Homo-oligomer: A and B are copies of this chain.
């Protein structure tokens, strides 16, 4: 059963990406090793050939999985279909009902926010890497102000978006959920 190094690395990456998706969908604690491995087309026994512990997987999945979506969205938004700016497009996508309703394809920070806040420093450091990338990506769009101010403003935009999507997923009242997204879109557009 020995695999080539390239194949092993590929398998490892597949496990991390599968885990990131499942963590987003069901949370870290609710996602078991066996479930991750099965979803990756493997059996649980093989897990420890790639990782020392579940916690190591969590840390990797968080640093890899946090920014992927936003980055992909930025790329897609780089040439927005309508006349709106890139920033509007990114904010609009993040605060969309699609993002709200599809956590497993979405932003990890929103899906795991409060779980990450209580996690090991390793895991939190991984999440922070993703957070900083999000901030930088947004900050780049504030071209008319100084870099320092742009970063500060981007920090606010990112945390407001995270809070908004989290709460829009929490309230069962559909109207209120919409209001949360819409209000956040409007207030952030005013910056």
Q: Which residues in A have some Cβ–Cβ distance to B below 8 Å?
A: 26-27, 29-30, 103, 109-118, 121, 124-125, 127-128, 131-132, 152-153, 155-156, 158-164, 166-173, 176, 179-180, 183-184, 187, 191
Considering the complex, give the chain B residue whose CB is closest to the CB of A181.
Answer: B159
Number of copies of this kind of chain in the complex? 2
Further 14 A-B residue pairs, CB within 8 A, beyond A113-B114, A128-B176, A159-B184: A27-B118, A29-B30, A103-B117, A113-B163, A113-B166, A115-B115, A117-B166, A127-B170, A155-B183, A159-B164, A159-B167, A159-B168, A160-B184, A163-B163
- Whether the Cβ atoms of B164 and A27 lie closer than 8 Å is no
- Whether the Cβ atoms of B166 and A114 lie closer than 8 Å is yes
Considering the complex, give the chain B residue whose CB is closest to the CB of A26.
Answer: B118
